[in-house]
Chain A
């Protein structure tokens, strides 16, 4: 009897071995399949995010071209009844999100979270660097970020020299001889924000700090009412700024109220009306995928060219 059991033991051993091999293979297969599903899901989510973002972009452009540029809670447009032009983010209502219309498919039955956040900044409320901009204002902005008077003077004057068409070096400025690199300065208006990095005196860290508060585009006029807090502080005493920002966030800041609080009076080149020169930031989230897009546009509904794209940043 004992010898019989020994022979059966070998068969058992074989069976165990085979089972082990098959189990290892099966494990490997499930692991790979899991990975593939994860990758494919991310891909699908990305496509979904891209389409959702595209729809949101179209909806926002449509609203900009058809609605007055002010918040109107009575507006039929789901964007115009909640938008603002001082870069305060707002979430798009679900009706605008096409993803709700797409029925879940066999491979994608899990519930997904889809959301698009929008922020619109009137670029007339920013500090323009176009052709050097308002030199005093630019210098004041730089000094806010711990730049010394001397350095600020070098940067603003070099910025003017970089963009003017001549080769005359202004005081504290910089022309060809100071750069010694082919193509610098461009002697043309800045064509991208990153070009600023190469201007004498500018550092990548400083550029990053001022990025949200400047524009390289020409402004028809300046509109401090839509300016970010940091820019408004350059013009208005700080104790007033907080009050103005609080009123603006509560949506109770009228033009008269702003003029009264800030002490700024309109003149040629300074108005309190939202312009069509806008920076639109779209952030779309689909599960773990986050897509951001920034558009610099000029909207003028009554012009031959109602919609002009200056730049797109992904």
Chain B
């Protein structure tokens, strides 16, 4: 009797092994599912974190876009160009040069799978900017990735004269700022008020520094008085 108790029969062994392996299978399957989900969540979390970081950076750059005066063909205007979904301007806070003004470019590019991404390029500003030349951008970063469509618009007066006319109660100009997808502040002689970035189903509005055109007025007056006098 004692002998019978001390061991297993083949059947017992087979049953226990098959039971055990079933449990193992179940365990490993649920474990892998669990891990997958966990990592998926981790991925979502880190993606959300890096996205919010990118938005903070984008906001820092755009909200400090400066009314920066440039000269071209002996005529003064602001450096701010929005053309074919590419934005070029000067900001007081760069992503890479945090303490100084930078010239930057935001452009919408396509990756290999046809998805769009927002490319940010910047360079430290030293002297003046030549309006039509390519600038030596030294750093770059992708800010919005894998989007189906990215677009820019600015909220602005069409021109400085239009703004001045609107402030004159006798002129009755009925003009208001508008959303525009092409803009050149050197021609209009006034900085836009707000930038709107569209991507997928989202959009973000960021306002610029608003000096009411004072800096350009000041430099223009100074220049004309110096050259005439």
Contacts and interface: CB of A to CB of B under 8 A. Distances in A.
Interface string A300-314: 000011001111111
Contact of A305 (B71, B130, B212): B212
B211 A308 contact: yes
A249 interface: no
Contact of B92 (A131, A183, A184, A312): A312
A195 interface: yes
Most buried by B among A39, A179, A185: A39
A218 interface: yes
B169 to A, nearest CB: 12
A48 interface: no
A218 B125 CA distance: 22
Contacts of A32: 42
Contacts of A113: none
B218 A304 contact: no
Interface residues of A, number: 39
A168 to B, nearest CB: 12
Given A43-B52, A309-B210, A311-B92, A194 B223 contact: no
A62 interface: no
B127 A198 contact: yes
A185 B132 CA distance: 19
A4 interface: yes
B209 A312 contact: yes
B224 to A, nearest CB: 10
Contacts of B211: 308-310
B158 interface: no
A46 B125 contact: no
Interface stretch (B59-67, B114-122, B175-183, B195-203): B59-67
Interface in A153-184: 164-166, 179, 181-184
Interface stretch (B81-89, B93-101, B139-147, B149-157): B93-101
B167 A304 contact: yes
Contacts of B45: 36, 39
A184 to B, nearest CB: 4
Contact of A165 (B5, B100, B130, B226): B226
Interface of B: 5-6, 38, 42, 45, 49, 52, 56, 60, 63-64, 66, 68-69, 71, 92-93, 98-101, 124-130, 167, 209-212, 214-215, 218-219, 222-223, 226-227
3 A-B pairs with least C-beta separation? A183-B127, A194-B100, A184-B127
Given A189-B222, A311-B66, 11 more contacts: A183-B128, A183-B130, A184-B127, A189-B219, A191-B68, A192-B66, A198-B126, A308-B212, A312-B93, A312-B209, A314-B98
